[in-house]
Amino acid sequence: MDASTWQQKMQAGGWVDLSRRAKLCFTGADRLRFLNGQLTQEVRLATNERAVPTCVTDLKGKIVGEGWLTARADTLVLDADADLAETIGPRLERYIIADDVEMVDHTDDWALWHWLAPEGATEAPPPGPEDGNWVAAPRWGAPGWDLWLPASARWQPAADAPLWTAEEVECLRVLRGIPAWPAELNADHFPPEAGLEAYAMSFTKGCYMGQEVLSRIKTTGKMPQRLVAWRSAAAPPDPPSAGIAAGASVWLPGTEQPVGAVTSVVRDPASRQWVGMAYVKQSALPEDSRLLVGADLTKLTLQIHPIQLSSVS
């Protein structure tokens, strides 16, 4: 995609089809208390007008799932990446013991569309179907709204409405430095390593799975790695002779040992530079730093900077 087409895309906003995401519904008098003991987020922040991001962690504080939480009159709904459909449900249900809570998988019963607001806009989304429910959800670090409606309605945006493909959404996500499952958020990492303490964690609501370990990280500031955003120092030829792939090693200049690895990478449609994220050892990260990526003579210089996620709160 060229720079002009990308800019038009950003200025128009558009629809993203999220209907494949797993959708777990929790009912019962203890649903709020139960989920507060399982999720990193303060569950009370989720309403029928606003969704909030959250993580599911294990006893060691590592990420085993992530998603967005929405509240309805008598239900809490957690939507998560489709790849988590067969794991996150059993993980949560395992701890429903003496609680007045019932979890039902309604993945196939609900359609979920997201209206991504045009760049710089804050106005409400376009009109939707009468039986739909709008919920504010800044999933990509900017204003956006989820539209929930029964799958049986078979609703689709108007034929001339702007639609975003999965590849375009991925480009936007990486350009804005938003970590996602499974590239950055997975069982190898703690939520604070990905910067999630800024918008998807609570340290005041009480105990939850892995909370003791995560509180210790917050107190000491010590963690094995840190997620950073990076941009290649120069744009490669067009078409590029070689790209940067997820998994590529990251190096400190003048050293022979890798200090991290690339997790996501796209090519910026505007600047044509490689842009992405990487986990890097915390000890190798002075501010305003430069790193190398690749191996041997193919190493490229990267400009790195901290990921700022406060804008998605």
Which CATH number covers residue 104? 3.30.1360.120
- Does residue 310 carry a pLDDT above 50? no
Q: Alpha-carbon distance 109 to 105, whole Å?
A: 9
What's the structural domain count of the chain? 2
242: confidence class by pLDDT, cuts 50, 70, 90:
low
Residue 159 sits in the same domain as residue 10: yes
Residue 299 sits in the same domain as residue 233: yes
Residue 59 sits in the same domain as residue 125: yes
pLDDT of residue 257: 82
User: When comparing pLDDT for 3 and 309, which is higher?
Assistant: 3
Residue 26 sits in the same domain as residue 165: yes
Residue 106 sits in the same domain as residue 42: yes
Q: Averaged over 261-267, what is the pLDDT?
A: 94
pLDDT of residue 306: 66
275 within a domain of the structure (yes/no): yes
pLDDT of residue 267: 92
200 within a domain of the structure (yes/no): no
Retrieve residue 90's tokens. Answer: 């059993």
Instruction: Find out whether 187 and 63 touch, Cβ atoms under 8 Å.
Output: yes
Q: Give the number of other Cβ atoms within 10 Å of residue 187's Cβ.
A: 12
Residue 68 sits in the same domain as residue 154: yes
Identify the domain boundary among 175, 196, 214.
Answer: 175
pLDDT of residue 237: 64
194 within a domain of the structure (yes/no): no
What's the whole-number average pLDDT of the chain? 89
Q: Averaged over 127-135, what is the pLDDT?
A: 87
Instruction: Find out whether 40 and 163 touch, Cβ atoms under 8 Å.
Output: no
Q: Averaged over 110-119, what is the pLDDT?
A: 94
Residue 133 sits in the same domain as residue 258: no
Residue 16 main-chain phi, psi, to 5 deg:
-125, 125
186 within a domain of the structure (yes/no): no
219 within a domain of the structure (yes/no): no
- SS3 (DSSP) at 213: helix
- Does residue 117 carry a pLDDT above 50? yes
210 within a domain of the structure (yes/no): no
pLDDT of residue 37: 95
pLDDT of residue 313: 38
Identify the domain boundary among 142, 175, 208.
Answer: 175
Residue 229 sits in the same domain as residue 157: no
Task: Look at 161-175, 203-217, 220-234 and tell me which has the smallest mean pLDDT.
Answer: 220-234
114: confidence class by pLDDT, cuts 50, 70, 90:
very high
Task: Look at 71-75, 187-191, 304-308 and tell me which has the smallest mean pLDDT.
Answer: 304-308
First CA to last CA across the chain, in angstroms? 30
240: confidence class by pLDDT, cuts 50, 70, 90:
low
Residue 140 sits in the same domain as residue 20: yes
Residue 169 sits in the same domain as residue 257: no
DSSP letter at 174 equals H
- Inter-CA distances, 41 with 57, 80, 98, 171, 209, Å: 11, 14, 22, 27, 11
- Does residue 283 carry a pLDDT above 80? yes
- Does residue 97 carry a pLDDT above 80? yes
Q: Alpha-carbon distance 311 to 313, whole Å?
A: 6
Residue 136 has, within 13 A of its CA and on its CB side, a CA count of 13
Per the structure, the complete domain to which residue 51 belongs is given by 3-175
Torsion, CA 212, CA 281, CA 221, CA 46, rounded to 10: -60
User: When comparing pLDDT for 19 and 299, which is higher?
Assistant: 19
86 within a domain of the structure (yes/no): yes
| Location of structure tokens 């375009």 | 168
Identify the domain boundary among 159, 175, 191.
Answer: 175
Here the CATH number for the domain that contains residue 237 is: 2.40.30.110
pLDDT of residue 216: 94
